[in-house]
Structure 1
């Protein structure tokens, strides 16, 4: 395949009478034409770095993309910029296939430049390159099996074999920087092709045991309106049994923050895992972009910390799924949550999912939703009664009454720091 690319690049060089360079859409070098000129300015720092390191810097990429090459369907002329290390004008031939940009052919430009007829012929060759790149990406779509094997295997020889198979399939990309993204719930039939998601190296669908999708806007407010028109204050319809036999609301937090997040709902069954290539460890925008593009209106996305190579993909997947669970539990974190920004949910998502602590089990029942919400807001506000009452829109005496009921139900002392910590952790964990 690489030989085919080189032949096509040489064909463009011959057509236009100037050395050509082929890069993929992530500005990774694929092939380049020989340079036999005595003009040293032809080998400016940008072209030299691209050939020697087989990639361009993020700054160079941003500079060229600023000329609209990602959207162009024909040749784009780009002026020299000595301050950026670009000493010569460039011509960019976007390499596209079925409307999707897959790479770029770069040429040095000089007056009078190639004729329109020769550029048209070069674009025809670029289209043939696009077909090859598309075939290569379609082959990469089959990596769903390899990625799924890695993410479902337990540590040991099976995991090591799965990582080795994925490493072989990815080739040189395997040792680069990656971040895992979890999109849940995933409602598509199968995993999409990586070519529809810029930067994606592999995607696969996996079982998902996290919380249900967020309720539609307005759904959480209905029970309160019923309470105001005659129903018992804070009441909720009976909850279906959860996985452990108790109320599902005790283990799933699906409502928005204003309603406490304890309303039960059906758990989604599948999540989509995306392995996304990164250019640098401090720039997770490719992973965030992939998450936003893949998630539907009722789904969230979690992004793991970046890692080099494939050895810790299992840990990255735990981080990505934890971030997705936290985004479901706490709307202010989502709909796209980064593991590095989860705060206490980094610890809470690591706790065993064995149901709520016995002390708070009664409080988390459907009959005490308002009390649970009151306790959580009180603890979120560091136990400050004035701020809590204002946030809830209630009188202080009403707040004190509710807190006393919380103490009666749980047997916890809200003046004791450890009891407060236990209650706060239990309420946050219940959302997960």
Structure 2
């Protein structure tokens, strides 16, 4: 009996003489095997995008495949170019874990032949059930690594070390989609080496530190399939031990907070924004947002001028050029900035105070 799902799909295609597609119960692609060059839009969509559309899922589930214990024939829709197919439910212990689809427009697969594929479907059900259980268990252990309780984290680190599922150094990533989105990412659509969990509203991924960005981008695309707005991502690497995963998550969530939609920020690139990790918004606001600076923030154009001036190390020429204004206009704005804030822009400490406040303020809630 084949030892993996791809081999099972290939053996099913050879046995039944038809192109085969293995999907999980949420219609995400698990494996596929060609048999000739027969294809239709549904199969192509599943292979190219690694999932079937909601419309396809609705149509196929209408035939009762989620409750079926034996083969279900789905008729063709030739007007839409969709071929007839046979669905073999993939089950284990009376639970449906997926579907094995065979393109069979001419109904060449007889009931007797389909019955010969039953051991393959049973084996696939066992493997999918086992993988689902393993992923669930590892997801719970990852959640325990993120716990605020040291004893829970220590126990999870010991258990994960025994499984060998995570080998430091690691990368911890946080993805945030606009609006509430508590649903976890489908682990079938991520590499098996990636652990993922939803923790305190964050989609958390833990992967090898060697090349985490492809996994982050894959997870971002999965989130963006749920809505049109791009997600922001933060990354902390390297995380040198399982015990440090929680701190990696806290740093990665700061990086995600600082990232623009569609952007991935690394903790190492944040500079002064790392202060968001060590103090709460209220404490930072009290520390950096004086009444004078608050008055300046009420004038966005002047605040932007001040930030640009300080980003250019106080160079009037460079700032005026960046703003496309006459230098005298810039001097007038700088005088207004000093009047509003009570700070002197030729004083190094005052410039540091203002620059820090302007850097942090866009990321402080209620500022």
TM superposition score category, shorter chain reference = 0.5 to 0.7
Question: In 2, Cα distance between the equivalents of 1:161 and 1:291?
Answer: 28
Question: In 2, Cα distance between the equivalents of 1:130 and 1:393?
Answer: 65
Corresponding residue for 2:236?
Answer: 304
- Please state if 1:180 is matched with 2:180: no
Corresponding residue for 1:338?
Answer: 266
- SS where residue 259 of structure 2 aligns? helix
Q: Give how far 1:302 is off.
A: 0.9
Q: Which has the higher contact order (CA 8 A, sep 6+)?
A: 1
Corresponding residue for 1:195?
Answer: 188
Question: In 2, Cα distance between the equivalents of 1:134 and 1:204?
Answer: 19
Equivalent runs, 1:3-402 vs 2, <5 Å: 5=3, 73-74=33-34, 130-139=124-133, 140-154=135-149, 156-167=150-161, 171-175=163-167, 177-185=169-177, 187-199=180-192, 201-207=194-200, 270-276=201-207, 278=208, 281-296=209-224, 297-307=229-239, 309-328=241-260, 335-340=263-268, 342-345=269-272, 347-353=274-280, 354-356=283-285, 357=287, 360-364=290-294, 367-402=298-333
Question: In 2, Cα distance between the equivalents of 1:362 and 1:177?
Answer: 45
Show CA shifts across 1:253-299 (max 9, x none): xxxxxxxxxxxxxxxxx2211223x3xx4423333334432443242
Question: In 1, Cα distance between the equivalents of 2:352 and 2:172?
Answer: 32
Flag the 1:343–1:190 CA change in 2: closer, same or farther, 3 A: closer
Flag the 1:397–1:321 CA change in 2: closer, same or farther, 3 A: same
Flag the 1:149–1:74 CA change in 2: closer, same or farther, 3 A: same
Contact preservation (8 Å) 1:291, 1:302: no
Q: Give how far 1:339 is off.
A: 2.5
Contact preservation (8 Å) 1:360, 1:423: no
Contact preservation (8 Å) 1:305, 1:319: no
Q: Give how far 1:4 is off.
A: 8.9
TM-score (norm 1): 0.51
Q: Give how far 1:138 is off.
A: 1.4
Gaps (5+ residues) in structure 2? 11-29, 36-89, 91-96, 101-116
Question: In 2, Cα distance between the equivalents of 1:125 and 1:286?
Answer: 36
Q: Give how far 1:317 is off.
A: 0.6
Give the length in aligned residue pairs: 263
Question: In 2, Cα distance between the equivalents of 1:425 and 1:337?
Answer: 19
Question: In 1, Cα distance between the equivalents of 2:132 and 2:230?
Answer: 28
Contact preservation (8 Å) 1:305, 1:316: yes
Corresponding residue for 1:15?
Answer: none
Corresponding residue for 2:335?
Answer: 404
Contact preservation (8 Å) 2:255, 2:270: no
Gaps (5+ residues) in structure 1? 13-69, 76-95, 101-122, 208-269
Contact preservation (8 Å) 2:173, 2:252: yes
Question: In 2, Cα distance between the equivalents of 1:130 and 1:302?
Answer: 36
Contact preservation (8 Å) 1:327, 1:337: yes
Q: Give how far 1:177 is off.
A: 4.8
Flag the 1:133–1:421 CA change in 2: closer, same or farther, 3 A: farther
Corresponding residue for 2:86?
Answer: none
Q: Give how far 1:190 is off.
A: 2.0
TM-score (norm 2): 0.58
